[in-house]
């Protein structure tokens, strides 16, 4: 009996089956890797919640079986993140300001500036504004609070100036205009780098 398929046709058919299985195998792997990933939406987060030259912003979450405790945790975590961010920025301002001036005892001046700055930041954290708050309930029955807060740079700068200009040890050498110029440069750098 004569074979209905010629050798070239048989090779072509076999090649098509092999290529088809290879491409379908690759295709299924691509689909599988996308199916294995889930896009997570983080509330109160994104570019509009980042610090810029006029406003410090921070966001955080808190989770608890009690909704109010979840909110308190989110608030506490946001304030801690904001304080760390401000402290880092002010440390840069202080270092640049002190290095640009001629102080007799640089270490003592830096320590004094940092102590006063911490005191002001702690006071100013009472004046933060909540700009976003979302509460969700998880599958396990806990509450999750997403929160973003902000603090105006002008209010902080004014509070720092008041504290620094009244300090007896710094009063003689403190130059508000130079300090403000240094502070503004640091804030512009923060915004240029994309905020926190």
Report pLDDT for 12. 44
For the stretch 133-158, pLDDT in tens is: 999 999 999 999 999 999 999 888 88
Map tokens 């029955």 to a residue.
141
Between the two ends of the chain, the Cα-to-Cα distance in Å is 80
| Mean pLDDT of all residues in 117-127 | 83
Indicate the domain borders of the chain. 1-39, 47-192
Residue 184, C-beta contacts closer than 8 angstroms, at least 6 positions apart = 53
**Does 125 score more than 70 pLDDT?**
yes
pTM for the structure as a whole: 0.72
For the stretch 28-83, pLDDT in tens is: 444 445 678 888 888 999 999 999 989 999 999 999 999 999 999 999 999 999 99
Task: Work out the pLDDT band at 21, boundaries 50, 70, 90.
Answer: very low
Q: What is the CATH number of domain 47-192?
A: 3.10.129
Helix, strand and coil content of the chain, in percent to the nearest 5, comes to 60, 15, 25
Q: In what order do the strands lie in the sheet with 143-152?
A: 55-64, 143-152, 129-137
Give the whole-angstrom CA distance, residue 6 versus residue 134: 70
Three-state secondary structure call for residue 158: helix
Give the whole-angstrom CA distance, residue 50 versus residue 56: 8
**Does 159 score more than 90 pLDDT?**
no
Report pLDDT for 116. 83
């Amino acid at each position: 009996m004569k074979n209905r398929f010629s050798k070239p046709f048989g090779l072509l058919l076999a090649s098509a089956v092999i290529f088809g299985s290879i491409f379908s195998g690759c295709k299924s792997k691509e689909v599988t890797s996308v199916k294995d990933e889930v896009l997570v939406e983080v509330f109160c987060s994104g570019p509009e919640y980042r610090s810029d030259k006029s406003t410090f912003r921070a966001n955080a979450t808190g989770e608890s079986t009690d909704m109010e405790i979840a909110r308190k945790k989110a608030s506490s975590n946001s304030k801690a993140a904001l304080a760390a961010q401000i402290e880092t920025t002010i440390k840069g301002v202080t270092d640049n300001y002190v290095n640009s001036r001629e102080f007799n005892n640089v270490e003592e001046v830096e320590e004094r500036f940092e102590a006063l700055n911490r005191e002001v930041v702690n006071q100013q954290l009472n004046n933060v504004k909540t700009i976003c708050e979302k509460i969700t309930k998880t599958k396990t029955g806990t509450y999750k609070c997403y929160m973003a807060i902000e603090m105006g740079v002008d209010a902080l700068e004014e509070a720092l100036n008041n504290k620094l200009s009244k300090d007896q040890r710094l009063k003689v050498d403190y130059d508000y205009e130079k300090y403000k110029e240094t502070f503004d440069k640091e804030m512009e750098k923060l915004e240029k780098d994309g905020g926190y």
